Every structure is written in C-alpha cells, then in structure tokens.
Structure 1
Amino acid sequence: MSPASRVVETVFPQRLGTSFRWLVASSWTTNLGDGLMMAAGPLLVASQTRNPVLVAAAAMSFQLPWLVFGLVAGAMADRLDRRVLVMAMDAARAIVLAGLCAVILTGEVNIWLVMGAMFLVGLAEVFADSATGTLLPMLVDKPDLGIANARIQVGFLTANQLAGPALGAVIFAAGMALPFMIQTVCVALGVVLVSRIGTTRGAVREHVETHVRQDIAEGVRWLAGNKPVRTLALVIVAFNITWAAPWSVLVLWSLERVGMDEAGFGLLTTASALGGLLGTALYGRVERRVPLATLMRTVLACEVVFHLAMALTTSPWAAYPLMFFFGAYAFIWGTLSQAVRQRAVPREFQGRVGSVYMLCVMGGMLGGSLLGGLIAHRWGVTAPWWFAFVGSGLTLALVWRQLGHIAHADEETVRAVA
C-alpha cells in the first residue's frame, strides 16, 4: 500500500464505505463555502450600513430560520428522500447565492436585499442540514458512528472555522462578489458529490398519511418518552446556557480583563479550532480505550474546570492554552453526544429528534447570551464565567449517575422496543 493510500485509509477507513467518503467530501466542500461566508457576510453587511440594529438584524436573519422552521425541516427529512432533499436545498442555496453575486456585480446591492438573501440561504440550509444529519446513520454501522462524525468535524474545523473565514476576508477585499461566487461553486459541487451517495431511493417511511404537525408531535413524544435521549437533550440545553453566557461577552472579557488587543481576540478562536483538530484526530483512539460513560463524565468535568480557570485568569498567555484545551474536549463532546444520539434514535425519527436537539442548542445559546449580558452589566465581565462554573458544576452533579444510561442509550432503546 502506497503512503497516500495509507493516509486515505487512516482518514477514511474502507469499512465505512464509498458513500461515506462522498458524504465527507460534500460536507468538507460546503463547509469551505460556509466558512468564506462567515467573514464575507458580515463584511458585506458592514459595506451597506453601520447601523448596529441593522447589522444585528442581518445576523439574526441567517439564524432565525432554525428557530422558526427547524421542527418542520426535521419532519420533512423523515418524510422525503433525504438525499434528494439535501440536493434540492443545496441547489436552492446555490441559486440564491448566484443571484446575490449578480446583484453585487451590478452595483445595485442594498442592505435589505442582503438581509433577504441571507434569510433565504439560512432557510435552505436548515432543511439541507437537517437531512444531511440523517444520512450518516444510514451509511455507517452504529459502532463506527463516533469515528465517522469525527471525520466530518475535521472538515468543519479546518474549512469552516480556520481557513474559510480568513480566506473570505482576504477574497472580499479583492472583490466584493468573489467569496460569494466561490461559495456558490462549493455548494453546487456539494450537490454533485451528494448525488453519488448510494442510499436507498425513496422516502424513509413507505406510507406517510399524517400531517407534518402530527409528525412533529410524534417526534417530540418519542424523545420525551425515551429517558436517556431526553436527559441528554436537557444536558445540552443546560450546558449551552452556561457556555453561551460568558461567550456572549468574550470580546469584552478579552479586552478589559485579560488585556488583549483586537488581533489577540481573534486568535482565541484560532486556538479553540486547533484544539478541536487535536480532539477530533484523537477521537477514534479515545473512544476505543475509554468507556463511553467515563468519557462523557470526563469531558463535562473539563467544561466545569475550564469555566473556573477562565474566571481566574488575567493573562493572555493563560487564555490561549485554555482555549486550546476547550476546543479539544468540546469537539470530543460534540462528536460523542451526536454519535450516542444517532445510535439510539430509530432511523425514521432521526430528522425530527435531530431538529429538537438543534432547537435545544439554539435556545440554550440564545438564553445564555441574554443572561451573560445581564450578568456582565450588573457584576462585571468576569461574573458570567463564575455563573458558568457554578451552573455547569451543579448540572453535572445532577446528571452524573444518569450519564451511564445516556452513554448506552441505544441499548435502552432496544429494551424499550422489546
């Protein structure tokens, strides 16, 4: 076996199948385009207005579809051909982006058109991402879901978090429309790559005679009736609230408490992404050697310790290693929690349960951000870290024993069905 073949086999084991490789290729490609937009989108908005309200509204226009249409998107993923749904929604994204590029090139762009385009792109992305998240359990055996999710996370970290934003800013400076043109190509290429995936054609369920509202209610009832999966959802809400509280004022904490400049603040995200790369690279080895319940307890304990350390530190030279540490354990947790959920949830409920989880993530972040701002306003920029430390510590203490059941939620599901 040649060195190149060995690298490919290590990163994309043959046992995961050719379709998995097409899915990863699509995910990495579209993540690069999305990473470009992370920088180019706000820069485009800022080029049209410096009104803080409109700038915030533009950011919300991209995020709002998850809160409004997330449950519907999950239900549709459980009603339709998931591969075709991903292709259709990504094609719709490419069309909207191509239209935005055309308008930018004519010089007729304005803030309202940008906000409308971002809302439509965000809407299509909700449906595409909801369906994409259900494809992996259809392609990979349950024992391999952890390593498969880790490989997808590598693309997210490198393309979306590290390379994409930096490239997006540079390319935007060269030409306002260029990053969106490249993103259009990336999304369109993603459609082609997804088309190569060999899933069973047709809807997940052979006969669908219910209304979408009934499907959503059925999915919520399934989650509510499965104690391990339900508890995991509550853990995600609680930890996203405590995480988002200090994160909402991270820029103020870095400038005022730690004494960083603007460039130094930007490097915090880079340190986190680099830690995430290490965590995802080691994930397969860690999952094989550490019992799942022990691994879940360890990474959540790391979160508690991280909040305490950030509350105490006043030096940027301590903040950067801490952010690296955060990225390493946080992406292990993200990969692990997703694999645990995917193993436990039946195939026909993957879309609906996944959409409820996304609402937990988004809702927790929204609530935590609001709390963080209020706490920092009243007690200073370090106070949200103390809130996060106490809140995450109490949450972990309450669910410590339940984590053993959560880690093996798939076995609980099998027993419930039997």
Structure 2
Amino acid sequence: MRTLLHPRLGAGFTRLWTASAVSNLGDGVIMVAGPLLLVSVTGNPTLIAGGAIAGQLPWLLFGLISGAYVDRLDRRRLITAVNLVRAGALIVLAAATATGNATVWLIYAVLFLLGCAETAADTAAGALLPAVVAPQHLDRANARLGATFTVINQFAAKPFGAWLFGVAAALSFGLPALTYLISAALVTALPPIPPPPPAPRRRLRTEISEGLRWLWRHPVLRTTAVAMGLSNIVFCAAFAVFVLYAQQRLGLSEIGYGFLLIAFAVGGLLGSLIAVPLTRRVGATAVLRADLIAEALVHATLAWTTTPLVAAAALILFSTHGMIWGITVATLRQRLVPTHLLGRVGSVYALLESGGAAAVGSLIGGLLAGVWGLTTPFWLAAAAMAAIAILAWRPLRHASAATPSSYA
C-alpha cells in the first residue's frame, strides 16, 4: 500500500480522488439496482436486456462527441454539471419507485441519460488529472484511482446495492443521487486550474477528426488503442456465455459462480498495488508486452481447464494484468497527449473499452458458443491475443520512453 500512499499527491488530487470514490459507490449501486428494478417491473427477458443496451448505447452515439466538448469546455465545471444532471435523474427515478410509478420506459430513459453523462464525466476526469498531479506522479495517481474503483465499485457497492434494494428500492437510487451531489461539490472545490490554450472554434467533426489523426500518427498510443479494442472484442466474445461456462464446464452452482467473480476484484486490487513499482522497475514496454502474453495464456487456460480453482487463478491473473495495462496506458496517454487534445484522444480509448467492442464481441461469442461449444470462444481468443501480441511487439518498443528515469 505504500506505493499508493506515498508521496503526497496534493490537495487537488485528494479532492478529485474522493469525488471519484464517492461516485464509484453510486455507480456500483446503480449497476445492481437498475436490473433489479427492471425485473420487478417486467419479466420479459428482452426488456430486461434493454436496460443494459440503454446504458451502453451513449458510448456508441456520443463517446467521441463528448471528448470534443471536454476539450472545448472547462473540465471542472463540466464534471460538476454532469453530476448534477445525474443526481436529478436519479431523484426522479427514486420518487417514481417510491410511489410505484416506475415504468420500463422511465428506467430506460434514466439509464440512457446516466450513460450520456458518464461519457462526459469519465473522459473529463481523465483529462483533468494531469492538471492536478505532477507528471512524475501520474502513475501513482492512476494506481490509487484504480484501487479505489476495485475496492468500492467491485467489492463493496454491488452487494451493498443489492441489500439496499431489498430494504427499500427507492433508496438504492436516492443514495447514488446523493453521491453525485457530493462528488459535484468536491470537484467544484478544486483549486483553480489554468485552462488549456485557447483554440479557434471549428466544426465538431473537424475537432473530432483532429484527435483521431493525432492518435493514429502516434505509434505507441495507436498500438495500445488498437490492441485494447481488439482484445475487448475477443474478451467479450469469450465471456459472453461465462455463466454457462461456470455451470456446465466447471460444475459450479449459482453461489459458486458468484465467488468465482470475486477473482476479478482480487486481481484488480493486486494489479493496482504492483503496477507502479513494476513499471518503474522494468519499463512500460516490458509491462505492456507481458500483459498481452498474459491475456493469451488466460484464455488458453480457461479453454483447457475444468477445475474451478485453476479458473479462479486465471481470472486473478487476467484482472491483475488488466489493471496494470489500464494504469500504464492511462499514464502514457496523460504524459504524451497535448492538453488541448486529452478529451478527444481519451474518448477514443473509452469508446473502445466501453462501447462497440463489447457489443460486437458479445454477439460473436454467443454465436460461436452456440454452434461449436462453450470453449470455442476461449480458444479463438487465445489465438487472437497471441497474434495481437506478435503484431504489437515492435511498435511498443518506444513505450518506456514516456517514463523517464527521473520519474522513478
């Protein structure tokens, strides 16, 4: 833990970190409460699945647009405004739930609005971090944010959200509304942040294209972006039917499946603790290359094994390397991308991580598993990740150059 707590990252980061922690609690509760509310309103599986689509669709529709506005507007005020919007939408849903007036379409509308707000808030927060943390400490800041996400969002918030929904469904939406209000207040209290250099206002499409072109011309960031997008496709293809894999391949009950998923959180926390010292010791190049190899090995192991403990160990390795990759790539991006482009470049990564790749991969995985069996997507994912590692190996050779020895 010393890696995360030392050195001091400044009062500005403390407020931003606390705001992130509070809003992560709200996010995790909603991830559980939203589907539970839909189940209580309708038993139609298609309508229940529509809730997930409503939350993911904004990334496809507005992810890149949000990045452009993050670079146009005051990022601190944008996060504050978006959190106020999220709080207002949840207050409406909480009131409707308390009075028995929550409908499928109202739930869809709120989840869609929350998804739209997330595209702006997440992108703006990533672009704001270099303004409150010195470049030599960005890796530590990202590691602390990653650890906070794992502990609060994955460990604590989801079981708490399920319990809270059982106690009083309206509270499971009212509490997240309060977390967003607190987060807005904390971001508002950040010290004054110098705005990026003024740029002439142009058409939105032109500004988005500028960010895409800059990213494509940078070999390291282009490689990490493409690798992440492709790896998310194969990951979602493999894990689209993971619940069936756990039951039929590993022989787990519903409770066993729940415990198996804890491995993701364990690995994520471990990755956040070792990412900084590991990257500073061996360099970003070695870490990123090892991450790609590790993912190929994880998929191959899951395709091969029928033992729950082996599968759990593979999942811990997967989420460990995933957190290390995320921290390393975020730090590279924040150090390499010009301030006025951070929103647009960051939105590309967010889109690849949260948008189309997941939908495409889930569709492919479901089709493959249905035709050729549950392990087929894992074997194909292992082969695909091995190919990605080979293709990315040489372009990643310059990644360590963004972590000068003076940062160590």
TM-score (norm 1): 0.93
Q: Does 1:282 align with 2:290?
A: no
* Partner SS, residue 78 of structure 1: helix
Q: How many equivalent residue pairs? A: 403
1:328 maps to amino acid = T
**Runs of 5+ in structure 2 lacking a partner?**
none
Q: Percent identity?
A: 40
Q: Does 1:367 align with 2:335?
A: no
Structure 2 match to 1:175: 168
* Aligned partner (choices 11, 14, 21) of residue 21 of structure 1: 14
CA contact (8 A) 1:299 1:330 kept: yes
Q: Deviations over 1:83-130 (max 9, x none)?
A: 000000001100111111111111111111111111111111211111
Q: Does 1:389 align with 2:406?
A: no
Q: Does 1:157 align with 2:150?
A: yes
* Aligned partner (choices 296, 302, 319) of residue 294 of structure 2: 302
User: For 1:402 and 1:10, how far apart are their aligned partners in 2?
Assistant: 29
1:376 maps to amino acid = A
Shift of 1:312: 0.7
CA contact (8 A) 1:96 1:120 kept: yes
Shift of 1:149: 0.5
Structure 1 match to 2:188: 195
* Aligned partner (choices 203, 214, 232) of residue 206 of structure 2: 214
Q: Deviations over 1:258-300 (max 9, x none)?
A: 1111111122221110111111112222122122211111121
* Aligned partner (choices 252, 261, 278) of residue 260 of structure 1: 252
* Aligned partner (choices 218, 240, 248) of residue 232 of structure 2: 240
Structure 1 match to 2:94: 101
* Partner SS, residue 198 of structure 1: coil
Shift of 1:407: 4.1
**Runs of 5+ in structure 1 lacking a partner?**
1-6, 412-418
* Aligned partner (choices 32, 37, 42) of residue 39 of structure 1: 32
CA contact (8 A) 1:228 1:409 kept: no
Structure 2 match to 1:4: none
* Partner SS, residue 119 of structure 2: helix
Q: Deviations over 1:120-142 (max 9, x none)?
A: 11111211111111111212222
CA contact (8 A) 1:303 1:326 kept: yes
User: For 2:5 and 2:181, how far apart are their aligned partners in 1?
Assistant: 23
User: For 2:125 and 2:401, how far apart are their aligned partners in 1?
Assistant: 24
TM-score (norm 2): 0.95
Q: Deviations over 1:340-394 (max 9, x none)?
A: 1221111110000111112222222222111111111111001111001100001
CA contact (8 A) 2:164 2:171 kept: yes
Q: Does 1:146 align with 2:139?
A: yes
1:259 maps to amino acid = G
User: For 1:33 and 1:102, how far apart are their aligned partners in 2?
Assistant: 17
- The answer to which of 396-405 and 40-49 deviates more is 396-405
- The answer to which of 207-216 and 145-154 deviates more is 207-216
Shift of 1:10: 5.8
CA contact (8 A) 1:74 1:351 kept: yes
Q: Deviations over 1:313-336 (max 9, x none)?
A: 101122122212222221111111
CA contact (8 A) 1:220 1:353 kept: yes
Aligned-pair Cα RMSD in Å: 1.6
Shift of 1:406: 3.6
1:229 maps to amino acid = L
